[in-house]
Structure 1
Amino acid sequence: MGSILEDITRPAKGWMAKGREPLSASLFKQRHRFSITGLSRSGKSMLFTSLMTMLRYRCEQQYNCLPLLHYLPPEQVESMHVEPLQGYTMFPIEEHLEALAHQRWPAPTEQLYGFKLVVRLRQTKGIRSWVFSHSTVVFEFVDYPGEWVTDFPMLSKSFTQWSDSAWAQQLSEPQLGFAQQWHDFVRGFDFEQAPSNELISELVAAYRKYLVSAKQAGISMLQPGSLLLESSGFDWQQSGFTPLPAKVSSDPSNPWTEIFQRHYQAFLKDWLQPLKSNSFQASDKQIILVDLFAGLNHSKQHLYQLKETLSHLADTFVYGNPGWFSKNILRRNAQGRVAFVGTKMDLLPPSQRQNMLSLLEQVTEGARAHFTGKNVNFEHFLVSAIQATDPGATDECLRYMNSSRQYMEACFEPIPARLEAMANDEHFPVLEAQVPDDFLPRILNGRGLDRLFQFLLSQETSNGR
């Protein structure tokens, strides 16, 4: 009886053996796209460097790191490899590791980067293992310059509206203290002159000088951020523009208003809109990096502006949790899981992290308001891409390598848990920790990304959020 049954089923098994590989590839291929966004200096470059290093050592050296792979049972993993992501420049991991080896932090992100991790899994249980021998899980990671993200709200504004809002921000703290030189230049500028190329370049150069100095001072809401990036595809020297005083921008017939209106529309049409449409493809999981230390180091007003900027950032993306049919058949994607990540937490003693978490939750309130009614799961995390400090003599102290390569100890005052508890003129020093000599083990043995990726890969609803 057994041999007869075997004779009957052998042809079917042979057909399935030939056909199940392509079927498995097409029907059982999971794709997870993570967009990693954040403002300038939020730690994207170091996070990407650590993430790719962990992936490389997990794939090539079989090093037991990167806890996100707990989502994939180790006994089922047949192979995994990192490869380029179509349409994106491969992240320059070698350059960044070389910088760390020379005791320099990686350069900030100034263009679009991406890569993917392809994992091939053996099917070992149930009927699926008989029909489909393998499945594939693809993790795609995309890194965006923060300056691009802050520009996207401009797409919904006319030039005059943008100009007025830019002036309003510059006349308020914290920008007011850094915009004085630019304002003095504008007050002395003769807008009765016809806008020649030389005069336009002079005005744009003065505005760009303000943007650069404000960025260095920790100001987060600066537009157009593309004006700050040398690698940007926006040619600001030929098509630049600046906000204009209301007495000029309110007159549509004024030659300065006319030409800056044309340059502004060209910026939106030829640079910003294609960038958003072609490069910022929809993802289903988003990591928003937040550097609270810059605000704490400068002023309470910096943190309030960070809160406003994060709200604008959240308005840029599509949020929701589409069902299987919408996602896989109609190809409608939206951010269904969002992780707000406070970065560089190795610069703070563990005893202060609960206050920092509370502060992070307050600063993201405006961004989270965009999730209302959209079935978005979100959480807040405190992470370190690399543990550049060590515990100090007490719970309030840390040891670190200073700029002279001396091993020092610093002790900290408590940070506020709420913005209201911070005085207007109060600021907190930021530890200028340098790259440790043993940076590689500190990356590979890190556990700061554990809960972050477990949350993003979970299929369960996150505590009603």
Structure 2
Amino acid sequence: MRKLLDSVLNPVRRASDAGSAQFAQWFMQSRHRFTITGLSRSGKSMLFTSLMTILKYRSEEQYQCLPLLRYLPMDLVENMWVEPLGELPEFPVDAHMAALERGDWPPATEAVAGFQLTVRLRQTHQLKKYLLPFTDIVFEFIDYPGEWLTDLPMLEKTYTQWSDSAWAQQMNEPQNRFAKDWHQLVSEFDFEQPPTPDAIAMLVAKYRDYLLTAKAEGISMLQPGSFLIPGSGFDWQEFGFTPLPSRISSDLSSPWTQRFNHHFEIFQKQWLAALKQSTFRETDKQIILVDLFEGLNHSKSHLYQLRETLSNLAQTFVYGDPGWVQRHLLRQQKIAKVAFVATKSDLIPAAQKDYLLALLKDVTRGATAQLDKDNIQFEHFLVSAIQATDAGSSEQSLRYVNGEGRYIEATFEPLPDSLKAMPADEHYPALPAGVPKDYLARMLNGNGLDRLFQYLLED
């Protein structure tokens, strides 16, 4: 029997011993490419920091975190290591941990970074162990500014189409509250004058002021978001553009339309197309982070605008379910599984989490309708990258450390479980929790990450 087994397996072993990288990729690796999609302030950086720290302690310190993650059994982890992901800068986890030690939350992401995490598992099945002594579970993660994400739909539009859609959005709630100065300038602007560099610079500067104001007020659908952060590789001062009134943008003979169309094409070809190739690379699983508290803290119209944003983004990525041959041999990647994740769920009492989950499902219903149409599997989760609060004296209260370092208690009104249930003139203040002194222990007990990754790792 042993000779028969050897006669079958030895050719396969020789292929492996010959140093075939393809063999390792096909049979000794399970590669998971995650797109962690998150708008500005959605908590991507803190999630990355917690994930890297949790997996490090789970592997090296045998810490019992992620208790429900059966697909990475701790007793079978032989080794774990982090490597650069291609030519991307490494994720600054040490700098983020230093910020937490100082009592500061990690700074917002202003440039792309990435890492590849490999977890080596020992085989337990006798036949598999005889042939393949280990399996590598490989994860690829990329962090990027959320402002870049909202720019991706611009790749599929002409300048005039984008200009008309951007102008229409500014006329609706809640954007129209913050666009008044911009609209006033445009209404008084003389478009009969030639598009000189100074005239363009004035328009672009005023439009950018509107984008910055709207961003500070919690608006997520802002284009071009790449104009807002210094980490962008696009020179908006040299090739800037703005939406124009339809009477101008629809006139293809207008020098303003011609100039902005030229700048828009440079933006698409030299920045967006390259960005999508390098950062929003092909992937098979997607985590969409959603900060519901930003909308709850402002208004009902902010949440409606968030729903619209998520619906638009669902049409940007390539979804599908390629089989094993397409994934492993032909290297075809389509997103086959999606997780919608409401972040910072530790900022509400446990008694209200069902309401938060219901609200998440309502806010994402436009996006999930698109996934349903394509028969893509999806699920909703509540996650906290760090448990920054404690239970209060009642089921409707929490205790937390505020920005001044005081340990105080807050009592909550019931959250709406849908947009329809939220009064138009009310808002729900977000809990301003500071960084707890025992942040590391609270990070290792982050809530919901095990269920999230268990779902994503299941076949």
Quick one: which amino acid aligns to residue 113 of structure 1?
A
The equivalent of 1:236 in structure 2 is 236
Quick one: which amino acid aligns to residue 448 of structure 1?
G
Report if aligned partners of 2:69, 2:450 keep a CA contact under 8 Å in 1.
no
Shift of 1:166: 0.8
Shift of 1:66: 3.5
Cα distance change on mapping 1:434 and 1:10 into 2, 3 Å: closer
Cα distance change on mapping 1:11 and 1:424 into 2, 3 Å: closer
Quick one: which amino acid aligns to residue 196 of structure 1?
T
Alignment partner of 2:451: what SS? helix
Shift of 1:109: 1.8
The equivalent of 1:44 in structure 2 is 44
CA distance in 2, matches of 1:71, 1:10: 30
Q: Does residue 424 in structure 1 map to residue 424 in structure 2?
A: yes
Quick one: which amino acid aligns to residue 177 of structure 1?
R
The equivalent of 1:352 in structure 2 is 352
Quick one: which amino acid aligns to residue 163 of structure 1?
S
Shift of 1:122: 2.3
Report if aligned partners of 1:25, 1:135 keep a CA contact under 8 Å in 2.
no
When the two structures are superposed, what TM-score results if normalisation uses the length of structure 2? 0.94
Q: Does residue 25 in structure 1 map to residue 21 in structure 2?
A: no
CA distance in 1, matches of 2:409, 2:387: 15
CA distance in 1, matches of 2:444, 2:122: 26
Q: Does residue 204 in structure 1 map to residue 204 in structure 2?
A: yes
The equivalent of 2:74 in structure 1 is 74
Alignment of 1:128-147 (within 5 A): 128-147=128-147
Shift of 1:87: 3.1
Report if aligned partners of 1:337, 1:377 keep a CA contact under 8 Å in 2.
yes
CA distance in 1, matches of 2:142, 2:201: 34
CA distance in 2, matches of 1:436, 1:329: 47
Shift of 1:98: 1.1
Shift of 1:126: 3.2
The equivalent of 1:289 in structure 2 is 289
The equivalent of 1:221 in structure 2 is 221
Report if aligned partners of 2:178, 2:213 keep a CA contact under 8 Å in 1.
yes
CA distance in 2, matches of 1:446, 1:454: 15
Q: Does residue 301 in structure 1 map to residue 301 in structure 2?
A: yes
Deviates more, 1:216-225 or 1:440-449: 440-449
Shift of 1:67: 4.4
Alignment partner of 2:256: what SS? helix
When the two structures are superposed, what TM-score results if normalisation uses the length of structure 1? 0.93
CA distance in 2, matches of 1:105, 1:130: 48
CA distance in 2, matches of 1:149, 1:369: 20
Shift of 1:331: 1.6
Shift of 1:370: 1.8
CA distance in 2, matches of 1:80, 1:398: 36
Alignment of 1:123-272 (within 5 A): 123-272=123-272
Shift of 1:319: 1.0
CA distance in 2, matches of 1:9, 1:326: 29
List 4+ stretches of structure 1 deviating above 6 A: 8-18
Q: Which runs of 5 or more residues in structure 1 are unaligned?
A: 460-465
The equivalent of 1:463 in structure 2 is none
The equivalent of 1:462 in structure 2 is none
CA distance in 2, matches of 1:57, 1:440: 10
Report if aligned partners of 2:381, 2:452 keep a CA contact under 8 Å in 1.
yes
Deviates more, 1:145-154 or 1:281-290: 145-154
Quick one: which amino acid aligns to residue 171 of structure 2?
L
CA distance in 1, matches of 2:455, 2:8: 41
Shift of 1:374: 2.8
Shift of 1:56: 2.2
CA distance in 2, matches of 1:97, 1:330: 39
CA distance in 1, matches of 2:213, 2:68: 39
Quick one: which amino acid aligns to residue 30 of structure 1?
S
Shift of 1:246: 1.8
Quick one: which amino acid aligns to residue 145 of structure 1?
P
Shift of 1:438: 1.1
Cα distance change on mapping 1:15 and 1:172 into 2, 3 Å: closer
Q: Which runs of 5 or more residues in structure 2 are unaligned?
A: none
Alignment partner of 2:319: what SS? coil
Alignment partner of 2:70: what SS? helix
Query: Deviations 1:56-106 (Å, cap 9, x if unpaired)?
Result: 223333333244753133343221112211132211101111111111111
CA distance in 1, matches of 2:52, 2:209: 35
Report if aligned partners of 2:85, 2:114 keep a CA contact under 8 Å in 1.
yes
Shift of 1:333: 0.9
Alignment partner of 1:288: what SS? strand
Shift of 1:9: 9.5
Number of residue-to-residue matches in the alignment: 455
Report if aligned partners of 1:67, 1:449 keep a CA contact under 8 Å in 2.
no
Shift of 1:240: 0.5
Report if aligned partners of 1:55, 1:82 keep a CA contact under 8 Å in 2.
no
Alignment partner of 2:35: what SS? strand
Q: Does residue 88 in structure 1 map to residue 119 in structure 2?
A: no
Deviates more, 1:31-40 or 1:440-449: 440-449
Quick one: which amino acid aligns to residue 76 of structure 1?
L
CA distance in 1, matches of 2:11, 2:325: 29
